[in-house]
Structure 1
C-alpha cells in the first residue's frame, strides 16, 4: 500500500483509474476506513469523477467497517453518478446490506437487478445463510440455473454454522452426483459435519475418499480430520494424524489440545500445551506459535474437568499477564465451572456476575458452536441458568442478561433453548441496540449535492 501511495503522489493529474486503484488497495488491506477517507479527499479534485469501478471496493470497505451510514451515503453517490445499476456495484450493495444485517434491503437490491451473475446469487444466498434463514437460502439455491463450487460451499457452510450437519452431508452427496469435485472448503465442511454429528463411520468413509482423491492433503484438511476424529471420540486416531503432519500451525495445535482436553484425558491436553509453549522457547524452531484465546479454552476446560483449582487460576493469570490474551465468555465460563466443581459455588456465581459480555460475538458462530456443543461439565448449565433467569426477572428489559442466558445454553449444547430465548427476545422487543432503519434512498440522493455538502456528510459519518 505504501508503494502504491508513493507512485500516486508522483502523478501530477491523477485520473479516475489512479484513484480507483488506491481505493481498491485500501479496501483489500486492513485500511478500510482510509479507503473512504481517500475517496472523500479526492472529491475535492475537479479531475476526479467517480465511475462504476470506484464504488465496488468503496462499498466493500464500508461492509468491512460494518458502517451503515457510510455505506448508505456511498450508495447515494452511486445513484447520483448514475452507476447504481451496474452489475458489480449492485453485487457490492447486496454484500454490504447483508453484512449490516439488512437482509431484506439486500434482497430488494437483488430482486430489482435486470441482470444477475453467479456472484449476485452466491452473495444473496450467503447473506441469508449468515443470519440463519436457511429455508430461504436453500430456496434461492434451488432456483439457480447455474452453480459453481462457491454456491455449494455457501449453502453447506450455512447449514454447518447453524447446526444442521446432516444437510451438509446430503448436499455433498448431491454435489458429487452432479459432477462437482469441490475444493478444500467443501472438504473441510463435510469433515466438520461428520464430527458435529458424531458420525464416525461416515467420517472414516470421507477420510478414505480423501486419501484416494486428494493424496496431497493440505494443512487445513489435515487439521479438520484431527478435529473430526476427536469429536467422534477417537482422539487416539486424531493424535496419530496430528503427529504425522509435516506442517502444523496454531490451529492444528489448538485442535489437538482441545481434542484431549474435551474429549479424552485432560492431562494429555495440558501436556500438549506445555509442549507447544516449550517449542516457542527453543531457538532452532522455525514456526513458533503463541497460545491464543482458543488454546486457553482447552487449557481451562481441562482444569475444570479435573478440578485443578490452583492450576486453573495460574493458567488464567498466565493467559492475561504473559500472553496478553483478553478473556472472553468461554474462559469465564470454564473458570465458573471449575469453581463449582470444587464446591466454591459463591465464587462461581461471582464470576458469572462479572462476565463482560462481548455483544459482537454470537454463540452460534462456528467457533462457539463447535466448542460449546461438546465442552460439557458436571451439572451441565444448571447454576448459570438459574443465575441468568434471576437477573432477567430483576430487569426484564436488559439485553445483556438474555445474552448471558443464550451463551450459557450454547455452552451446554442446548440449542433448542438458545432458539427459544432468542424468540422470546424478539417477542419482547429486546434488542442489542435501538432499531436503526434504512434511510430513504431518495432523501439521501436529493439532500446530498455533489461537492461540498456531499463531502461534509461523508466526513461527519467518518468521525461518528
Structure 2
C-alpha cells in the first residue's frame, strides 16, 4: 500500500497494531507505533486503545501505562484495556484500583477482574466480585460463568458452584460444551464426581477437553477404575454411529490415567499405559507423567525405581524446566526418603517471602501429605483460613503440577538433596523485592 503511494490513516493502524499483538513481535509493534506518530494518527482514540492492548500483550506495562495516561480522552475500551494490562502482568492491586476508578463498566470489565483473580489463585476474590456484579444488575456471560465455576472448583465451594449451575439453567436457553465442561471440572474438584458424570452423560456433543475433564475427575477425585473404564470408552470410539467423532487422548488424558494407576496400585497396568502413551500415541512424557510413575513404583515398594525414574527425566526437555527438576528432587526426597525437614524449611521460607501466595501453602501441604503428617496438613489449612487467603482444597497431583510450573526460583538443576539449598539462597536474594509487594494488604477479603 505504501509503495503504491497511498496514505495511511487510523483505519490502517488499528488492525496493524492488533496483528503485532497477536504475533508477539515487540519490534514490529514499536515500528508501527512510530509510523502512527509519523502519520499523525497516534492521538486517534481507536489507535491509542490498540496501542494499550498491544503493549499489554507484549508485557511492556510502562509503555501501555504511558499511552493511557497521555490520552486526551478515554472511553470504556480504554479503561478495559489498561485494567487488562495490569491483570496480565499479575499486578492485581493496581488493576483493582483502576477497576474501582472506572467511570462506567460493562460485562467485559467484570470478566477481566473475575478471570484475573481466578487465574492468579485467589478464587475468593473472584466469587466476591461475581456477587458484586450480580448486585449491580449485570447478567454475566459464558466467560463470566466459566471463571466463576473455575473459582468454585479451585476453592472447593460446592454450595456456590451448585448455585451458579442453577443460575445457568435458569438463564440459558441451551447448554453449551464450554459451560458443561466447566461444570464437570467444578463438581469433580468438589469431590462430587457423580454429579460431574451426570452433566457429562447429558452432553450432546463432547470434545477431548470434555472427556479429559471427566476422566481426570474419576481418576484423581473419584474412583480410579471408573476413570480407566472411561478412558477405554474414549479410545474405543469408532467414529461411526450417532455422529460420534473419533478422539485421540493427549498428555492431559494420560496424567489422569497414570494417576489412577498410582491410586489403585496397578503397577503392571501403569507401565503398559506409560508405554502406550509413548509408542502408540507418540506423546512425549512431561513432569506429571514421571511423578505419577514414581509414585506408582513407590506404592509397590520399589523405592529405588521410583527415585531412578525421576533422576532420568531428560534435562534438555523444554517441558521439563530446571525448576521442575528441583521440585521433583525436593518432593521425591520427602516422599521416598522421609526427608520432610528440607521440604518444610523451603516451603516455610517461600511463605515468609510472600504470605499472600496460596501456591506456597499448597507446596507445604504437599510436603506434609507425602509424609503422611495429617495434623500438620490440617494446621496449614487452618492457617490459610485465618489469613483469609482463600480456601484451599485437598492436595493432589493437579495442585502439585500447578505448583511446579508456577514457582520460578532460578535456573539450576538439583542433583542431590544438598543442591536444593540453592533454592533457599536464590529465594533470599529475591526476598527484599517480594516482601515489598507482599506487605500490601489483600484486595479482597473472603
Could you state the TM-score of these two structures normalised by the residue count of structure 2? 0.71
Match of 2:200 among 212, 228, 242: 242
**Deviation at residue 215 of structure 1 after TM alignment:** 4.6
Matches within 5 A, 1:378-457: 382=335, 409=363, 411-412=399-400, 421=409, 428=429
1:10-65 Cα offsets, whole Å, 9 max, x none, are: xxxxxxxxxxxxxxxxxxxxxxxxxxxxxxxx44x233332212222222222222
Greater Cα offset, 327-336 or 74-83? 327-336
**Deviation at residue 322 of structure 1 after TM alignment:** 3.0
> Does residue 1:90 correspond to 2:48, yes or no?
yes
Residues 287 and 416 of structure 1: is their aligned pair in 2 closer, same or farther, counting only changes over 3 Å?
closer
Aligned residue in 1 for 2:350: none
> Does residue 1:171 correspond to 2:159, yes or no?
no
Aligned residue in 2 for 1:312: 270
**Deviation at residue 126 of structure 1 after TM alignment:** 1.4
Aligned residue in 1 for 2:144: 186
**Deviation at residue 214 of structure 1 after TM alignment:** 2.3
Paired with 2:404 and 2:289, the residues of 1 have a C-alpha distance of 23
Aligned residue in 1 for 2:310: 349
Paired with 1:188 and 1:224, the residues of 2 have a C-alpha distance of 6
Aligned residue in 1 for 2:63: 105
Match of 2:183 among 206, 225, 235: 225
Matches within 5 A, 1:72-221: 72-221=30-179
Secondary structure at the residue paired with 2:237? Answer: helix
Matches within 5 A, 1:320-335: 320-335=278-293
Secondary structure at the residue paired with 1:279? Answer: coil
Match of 2:13 among 50, 55, 66: 55
Taking only aligned residues, the RMSD between alpha carbons, in angstroms, comes to 3.6
Paired with 2:245 and 2:36, the residues of 1 have a C-alpha distance of 46
Unaligned runs of 5+ in 1: 1-41, 364-377, 394-404, 431-464
Secondary structure at the residue paired with 1:262? Answer: helix
Residues 77 and 341 of structure 1: is their aligned pair in 2 closer, same or farther, counting only changes over 3 Å?
farther
Count of matched residue pairs: 359
Given that residues 215 and 256 in structure 2 are in contact (C-alpha distance below 8 angstroms), is that contact kept between their aligned partners in structure 1? yes
Residues 354 and 276 of structure 1: is their aligned pair in 2 closer, same or farther, counting only changes over 3 Å?
same
Aligned residue in 1 for 2:28: 70
> Does residue 1:287 correspond to 2:252, yes or no?
no
**Deviation at residue 418 of structure 1 after TM alignment:** 6.0
**Deviation at residue 145 of structure 1 after TM alignment:** 0.8
